[in-house]
Amino acid sequence: MKPAQSSSGTVSVPMSSATPKTTTPSESLPSSSKCISPLPATRSARAPHTIRDLSLRVIFTPRNDWEVLLLSSALYTGAPDGIYKYLDSKLASELRRCSYEETMEQARKMLDEAADCTGLKPEPGDPHVFVHPIPDSEYSIRLFPGSVEGRDYCLDFLLTATGEPVNSPFEFDLLCMPDPDAPVPSGPIVRMRPLECSFGIPQDKIDPGEEKFLLRDGAHCLLRRPGHRDVRFTVPIRRRPERARQPADAYYLHFPQYIG
């Protein structure tokens, strides 16, 4: 089968790292609750993350929670000495709809909500991070979790001797393959590209050590290097709480799942 080119990834956010999305009645505040990020950021070992954890990566001294929340989703491009004037004008517009106290309380609650994120590099101590040296290489593969709801897992490369993340350190193809144990083909072969490329960042412009590839729980992968044996691996699957199935208006016929 011919590999299909993937735009691939999924993780995203402007600001200094990740922009959570969360529901709000205000047009000037963020509007949804899952976040995805191709930009430099670290993932705390504790879980879950809150929107506050991610939003506090700002490049100025905020005066209140509302300013933190606003600039986590609305990128400021003006002069540094004009940022407070910009924030004051935005807040004045907001206060036409709500009182100051209501506005600040909304911002506080939203910043303290849990955020389900993909693309944040892990910190030491995360129990769901896995590292394996690549045979005949001075580098290792690291797998680290992203959004639980999206079943996202990310891959990057480390220098084995130091544990330092590096961008594409050698020539390779990373392929996602059909499940070899599936009784029927489960999909095409997909050649993966760095997640950042799906956000318009050229591969040679990705910040050192920030490159990552988006995979999925249970994905079957193949790393192909010229002059070396292929490397195969399967991404871990995180257990998820079972959800009650909605009864369907249909008869169920039960046949054996495995035979022989």
The DSSP H or E segment spanning 92 is: helix 83-94
Across residues 106-124, what is the average pLDDT? 82
Question: What local confidence, expressed as pLDDT, does residue 179 receive?
Answer: 85
164-166 and 213-216 strand pairing: unpaired
Q: CB of 234 within 8 A of CB of 218?
A: yes
Q: How confident is the model at residue 181 (pLDDT cuts 50, 70, 90)?
A: confident
Question: What local confidence, expressed as pLDDT, does residue 50 receive?
Answer: 60
Residue 83 vs residue 173, higher pLDDT: 173
What the block records as the tokens of 73 is 């989703």
Residue 106 vs residue 16, higher pLDDT: 106
Q: How confident is the model at residue 31 (pLDDT cuts 50, 70, 90)?
A: very low
Question: What local confidence, expressed as pLDDT, does residue 46 receive?
Answer: 40
Question: What local confidence, expressed as pLDDT, does residue 28 receive?
Answer: 33
Q: Is 72 exposed, middle or buried (0-12, 13-18, 19+ CB in 10 A)?
A: buried
Across residues 222-251, what is the average pLDDT? 87
Question: What local confidence, expressed as pLDDT, does residue 89 receive?
Answer: 92
Q: How confident is the model at residue 136 (pLDDT cuts 50, 70, 90)?
A: very high
Q: pLDDT tens, 10-27?
A: 333 322 333 333 222 233
Across residues 177-205, what is the average pLDDT? 88
- Among 23-32, 102-111, 138-147, 181-190, the least confident range: 23-32
Q: pLDDT tens, 194-220?
A: 999 998 999 999 999 999 999 999 999
Question: What local confidence, expressed as pLDDT, does residue 53 receive?
Answer: 59
The DSSP H or E segment spanning 108 is: helix 100-111
Residue 34 vs residue 220, higher pLDDT: 220
52-61, 123-132, 218-227 — most confident range = 218-227
Closest-CA residue to 221 (of 192, 181, 197, 185):
192
Question: What local confidence, expressed as pLDDT, does residue 217 receive?
Answer: 94
Strands (DSSP E) contained in 38-102 are 42-43, 49-50
- Give the predicted TM-score (pTM) of the model: 0.62
Residue 188 has pLDDT above 50, yes or no: yes
